[in-house]
Structures are given as C-alpha cells and as structure tokens.
Amino acid sequence: MPAKSKAQQKAAGAALSAKRGDTPKSKLKGASKQMAENMSEAELEDFASGSAKGKPDHID
C-alpha cells in the first residue's frame, strides 16, 4: 500500500535508508523511527514508492 501523503512517503524513505544501513538509525525521529522498527524492508519499499505528485503534504 503506497503512502497517502508526501510526509508519509518521506518518512518511509528515511526509514528504508536506515534499514539498509545507508543512514544511521540514531538520526531517525518520530514516524520514520517507528517505521524502521515495525516494518519490513519490502513494506517500506512499497510505502515509499510511487510518485508524490497529487498527494497532500499531510493527512489529518
């Protein structure tokens, strides 16, 4: 299931980067930190993929 907002997509991308070892996990904050702990790499790839065009910045 792809992200529903740009913020979700960005957080998933950061979590995926940390999961792969490209970014230290200590640099993650908030949602991206939780995503890295609770989601698999495949789930994060799916969530971060796709175009950000037409998506809202945030969801309430």
Q: Are 42 and 19 in contact (CB under 8 A)?
A: no
The tokens for 17 are 């980067």
* Mean per-residue pLDDT over the chain, rounded: 90
When divided into structural domains, the chain yields a total of 1
Domain that holds residue 20: 6-48
Instruction: Please report whether residue 31 resides in a domain.
Output: yes
Region for residue 21 given its phi and psi (left: phi exceeds 0; alpha: psi -120 to 50; beta: otherwise): left
Distance of CA 3 to the CA centre of its chain: 8
Instruction: Please report whether residue 38 resides in a domain.
Output: yes
pLDDT at 54: 80
30-57 confidence digits (pLDDT tens): 999 999 999 999 999 998 888 878 887 8
pLDDT at 56: 78
pLDDT at 55: 82
Instruction: Please report whether residue 24 resides in a domain.
Output: yes
